[in-house]
Amino acid sequence: MRGSTLHKVLAGLMLLMAAALLVSHLSTQDTLSLPLWAQAPCGVVAGFGIGVVAAITGWPGANS
């Protein structure tokens, strides 16, 4: 992936995280209670997303 594309992707992810934090700070929300059968697929999807971002950014210590 080219450096400029990577910077755009990371900037977009950071904006999404900032928006999520702002919304959660300004509003009152109940705890998300997922049924047991939905927790595992959501964990797999979240883990895959985290892994993709970690692989794209080269974390941990790819440049060391």
What's the 3-state SS for 5-58?
Answer: HHHHHHHHHHHHHHHHHHHHHHCCCCCCCCCHHHHHHHHHHHHHHHHHHHHHHC
Between helix 36-57 and helix 3-26 the angle, nearest 10°, is 140
Q: Is the separation of the CB atoms in 60 and 13 below 8 Å?
A: no
pLDDT tens for each residue of 2-16: 678 878 888 888 899
Farthest-apart Cα atoms in the chain, separation: 43
- Is the entire prediction scored with pTM above 0.75? no
User: What's the pLDDT at 44?
Assistant: 95
Domain boundaries, given as residue ranges, for the chain: 3-24+36-57
pLDDT tens for each residue of 13-62: 889 989 989 988 888 877 778 888 999 999 999 999 888 888 877 755 55
